[in-house]
Amino acid sequence: MKRTIAVFTGSRAEYGLLYWLLKEIKESQSLALQLIVSGMHLSKEFGDTWRQIEADGFFIDSKVEMLLSSDTPVGIAKSVGLGTIGLADSLQSLNPDLLIILGDRFEALAAAQVAMILGIPIAHMHGGEITEGAYDDTIRHSITKMASLHFVAAEPYRKRVIQMGEAPASVFNVGALGLEHVLRTPRLSLDELAQDLSFPLRKPFFIVTYHPVTLLDEDPRQSMDEILTALDHFPEYQVILTYPNADNGGRGLIPMLKEHARNNPERAMAIQSMGSKRYLSALAESAAVIGNSSSGIIEAPSFGVPTVNIGTRQQGRLAAESVLHCAPHAQSIAECIRRALSAQHVLLSSRKSNPYGQGRTAQEIARVLRSADLSKPKTFFNLEHAY
């Protein structure tokens, strides 16, 4: 009998990382895929990205509405509550052998706590990481403690998960799942990408993604204003502005992106969701990734593309030498962009050194999913034991 693996996804970025693992599970002779879609995927405001999931050939077993049209802390907290209620019904009905959760978003927290209470084992991906500027950090560690299997992206993260009391035999350093795209996802040419985006895209251009900092004192609207001001120092560069996540204050940034694109119609475009293929195609052709998205930390180095990481959201994460860090102020951002575009830094970035591995992750995860013993209850691992 096939082992039933449910996979939860609540955002476009998360789905993009999970894509090749979903394919691996779907095509497995010993695993059966169930797909639970929630959060931003079901929001027209964020692009109705559930349609892309179906277009990619996946059957959605359950859609769980949870996202309120409010990005205040209270609104986000209520969204978690709605997700908990909906996912309780969904997971009870699907009754999988195991639930896969990636990362650290509030949607994932709702899924994890429901699975834990229902006694459904959890496999957690990208645990052990630190992002000190967001409450995602606390959510990530919380999910780690609810999970039975752990697939981490680097050796320091494996050690940190063990430090949190997880048994070494349950923690697997498989590298970053998103790097599978570097090896396996076919990319569009620049002309094809421009046509697909309905935007006269040409080189050179930047990809800009900025998400609100949800824990530390960094006003998202002020930071976005500083970013847009800094970008005006580089009029010869086009800009693809992607929408932020549905985090605290995220919706307030969208009108700023739209206005900047309206005021610079030949130079800038704002887009709800690019999807994995278009995003990775753009990433491969871009001059730099600018903002505070994890893709600038994890995926961009494998494409040989410099990253300008702004502010504190990703503070604490392992980063390649190609990643430059700056304060969320226009002058600091502009100086950092100039460094990123320098011949010396472009050469350094071209070496494609990445602490998160080189892909080939999905097959290893699927192998563990097929063979893991899910019957044993978790016990706390004390560090006085050798590991």
Cβ atoms 339, 239 nearer than 8 A: no
- ∠ CA 310-106-76, nearest 5°, is 90
Whole-number pLDDT of residue 224:
94
Distance CA 38, CA 50 (A): 9
Residues of the chain with CATH 3.40.50.2000: 3-175+359-371, 188-349
* Structural fold of domain 3-175+359-371: Rossmann fold (3.40.50)
pLDDT tens profile 24-58? 999 999 999 999 999 989 988 888 889 999 999 99
Q: Which residues of the chain have pLDDT under 70?
A: 215-216, 385-387
Cβ atoms 380, 145 nearer than 8 A: no
| Domain 188-349 grouped into CATH 3.40.50.2000 | yes
Whole-number pLDDT of residue 162:
96
Q: Which secondary structure element, helix H or strand E, spans residue 22, and what is its range?
A: helix 12-26
- ∠ CA 31-369-354, nearest 5°, is 120
Residue with tokens 């005021």: 263
Distance CA 190, CA 202 (A): 7
Helices 73-94 + 106-118 axis angle, to 10: 40
Please give the model's pTM, rounded to 2 decimal places. Answer: 0.81
For 306-326, give the DSSP string.
-EEEESSTTTTS---TTEEEE
Q: How many helices (H) and strands (E) does the chain have?
A: 15, 13
Whole-number pLDDT of residue 385:
60
